[in-house]
Amino acid sequence: MTTLPAPPTSKRQLPTGHYKFRHALGSEWIKFRTVRSTMWCLGTFSLIMIGFSALFCAVTVSQWGKRPEEALTFDPVTASLAGVTMGSLAIGVLGVLVVSSEYGTGSIKATFAAIPHRTTVLLAKAVVLSISVFIVAAISELIAFFLGQTILRSASGSQPIVINGVHLPAKPPTVTLSGPGVMTALVATALFLTLLSLLTLGLGFLIRHTAGAISAFVGLLFPLFLLVVLLPATFKDRLEKFLPLQIQQTVVASKPIVSATSLSIWAGVLAMAVYAVVALAIGAVLLTRRDA
């Protein structure tokens, strides 16, 4: 009796266990750093953060004493981080792009064909994005801070200014890294930017289209701000402090104005964290329910 030759088999030995979070992390890290849009967004952020802040300090120096009412509330830390408002736009766009560019090009399908567990992908993206943003934000802030203080220190000094019996310094005040509230402001600002990027990452998963998600982000920052400002005073005072743009103005200050209409620095950071978590959670729920 003859036996038929066994058909060739392709039973290969697979490694034991299964793919892990670190695999997703490694994949996302490669994707993150191998597209130009990442470098564009982070580069633009750094440039604005350092350049605009330096410009602001230089203008402050040249205008010192000409506008004493502003000099009264002058905060040297805020001045040397003046680029953060515009810079945060680039950070927000980056958070959106990390997701929307994959949906726009269809490469999200390749991603999920390698890692079918979608929330793993979302978390890996969140980790890669937040660590990168925090590091780039911290470094850019430090450079902006030192450059800004150096420029402020270079002021030649004007005549002593006295308003309503209050003596103003002849030169803009400056601070060092160890000055009161300085480290807090730097760290809180970096955290603010990191949480902002996570918020827009969530928006990206929610909306998936680049243009739509960026519009939603810019809308969240600005028009919503205008809307709240136009509300009757009782509502405005209660709501305004929770707006990202308002929180951002608090976190960059070494001497934040404490009032009923603004959150403290850490309450502001906490509010941003809540926004980011909510956006990511909604994104995760939709992600697992919708078609890729």
Partner 1 sequence: MITVTNLTKSFGDKVAVDDLSFTVREGAVTGFLGPNGSGKSTTMRLMLGLDRPSSGSVLINGKPFHDANWPLREVGALLEASSIHPGRSAYNHLRSLAAANGIPKSRVDEVLYTVGLTEPAKKLAGGFSLGMGQRLGIAAALLGDPEVLLFDEPVNGLDPEGIVWVRTFLRSLAAEGRTVFVSSHLMAEMAMTADYLVVIGHGKLKADTTVEQFIAQYTTEKVKVMSPELDRLADLLTSGGHQLVKVDDALFIEETPSALIGELAAQHGIVLHELSPQLASLEEAFMELTSDDVEFHGQSEPSK
For partner 1, the binding residues (CB under 8 A) are 7-12, 14-15, 17-19, 23-24, 26-28, 30-31, 34-37, 101-102, 105-117, 289-292
Please give the backbone phi and psi of residue 255, each rounded to the nearest 5 degrees, phi first: -125, 70
DSSP state of 135: H
Q: Select 110 or 211, whichever has its Cβ closest to partner 1.
A: 110
Q: What's the min distance (Å) between Cβ of 266 and partner 1?
A: 37
Q: Select 39 or 229, whichever has its Cβ closest to partner 1.
A: 39
Q: What's the min distance (Å) between Cβ of 289 and partner 1?
A: 7
User: What is the distance between the alpha carbons of residues 129 and 197, in angstroms, rounded to a whole number?
Assistant: 7
Q: Select 114 or 231, whichever has its Cβ closest to partner 1.
A: 114
Q: What's the min distance (Å) between Cβ of 22 and partner 1?
A: 9
Six token digits for residue 128: 């890669």
Q: What's the min distance (Å) between Cβ of 135 and partner 1?
A: 21
Please give the backbone phi and psi of residue 165, each rounded to the nearest 5 degrees, phi first: 80, 0
Six token digits for residue 123: 């978390």
65: left (phi over 0), alpha (psi -120 to 50) or beta: left
Q: What's the min distance (Å) between Cβ of 5 and partner 1?
A: 12
Q: Select 16 or 234, whichever has its Cβ closest to partner 1.
A: 16
Q: Select 111 or 140, whichever has its Cβ closest to partner 1.
A: 111
Sorted by sequence, the CB contacts under 8 Å of residue 71 that are 6+ apart come out as 64, 65, 161, 168, 172
